[in-house]
Amino acid sequence: MLYNQKRYQELLTELKPYKATLVAVSKTKSVEAIRALREAGQDDFGENYVQELSGKARTLNDDIRWHYIGHLQSNKVKTIVPISHLIHSVHSLKLLKELNKQGEKAGRTVSCLLQAFIASEETKFGMTFDEMDELLHHSEISRLKNISIKGLMGMASNCDDTRKINAEFLSLKNFFEEKKKENMPDTVSFEILSMGMTGDYRIALDQGSTMVRIGSAIFGERKYTS
Ligand SMILES: *Cc1c(COP(=O)(O)O)cnc(C)c1O
């Protein structure tokens, strides 16, 4: 089975009342699996690894909307900018400047999200609320004409404590709503709140997520070979 058709349809039904976008996370999964889901009408796919993403984008040669959700490094920006529809994992001004530079070169506006650090695990990446606040009000932001900051992404702690996960998503939602009301440069528009994965997307939706990133529920568990 290339993907779980039943689960996929259930997810679409579940997401509908929330009007949330489903990003099918296809990391480690085959191009055949992506193609099959694509044929079922799925437009948005998420990938974590730059090499894998560029390889799949080249092979599939399709108008798939690729979401880059992996850890972002400056030296990889050049490769992902021409391919990505949305980059979820921006965590510094330095990266924004590099995205702007590569966007200029590619003749396009680069849509991205700031990755927030909301979990209590140090292994997770992202910016604190204070850091995001400072970045959003930085004088340079309005000069980065080839980027468009469309919102925020966050990952909750990987645990079974639903109250904790709920509180983490809620804190991000509150920050998102607060910033939405503030006066921001043209390069910032808060429309997207990317939160929720297979294990916690229901909690995320209840806390106002507009975009969920789901892998295992659709494609099955991932097996890492290396
Ligand atoms: C892998 C990954 C997902 C999807 O995880 P599942 O638990 O398989 O749904 C979502 N977001 C990010 C950032 C990921 O790395």
Concatenate the DSSP letters of all residues of 58-95 into one string: HHH-S--EEEE-S---HHHHHHHTTTEEEEEEE--HHH
Residue 198, ligand 1, Cβ within 6 A: yes
pLDDT at 2: 95
**What pLDDT score was predicted for residue 213?**
98
Q: What pLDDT does residue 225 have?
A: 57
Alpha-carbon Rg for the chain in angstroms: 17
CB of 22 closer than 6 angstroms to any ligand 1 atom: no
Distance (Å) from CA 105 to ligand 1 centroid:
30
Query: Which pair of structure tokens corresponds to residue 83?
Result: 């391919």
Is 50 within 8 Å of 79 (Cβ atoms)?
Answer: yes
- Ligand 1 lined by 26 (C-beta under 6 Å): no
Q: Ligand 1: which residue has its CA nearest to atom 10?
A: 213
> Does ligand 1 have an atom closer than 6 angstroms to the CB of 48?
yes
The amino acid at residue 220 is G
Secondary structure letter of residue 141 according to DSSP: G
Mean pLDDT by groups of 10 residues along the chain of 226 residues:
96 98 98 97 98 97 94 97 98 98 97 96 88 96 97 96 97 97 94 98 98 98 72
| Structure-token match 């904790």, residue found | 164
Alpha-carbon distance of 208 to 138, in angstroms, equals 27
What pLDDT is attached to residue 1? 86
Ligand 1 site-directed mutation target among 124, 197, 221, most atoms within 8 Å of CB: 197
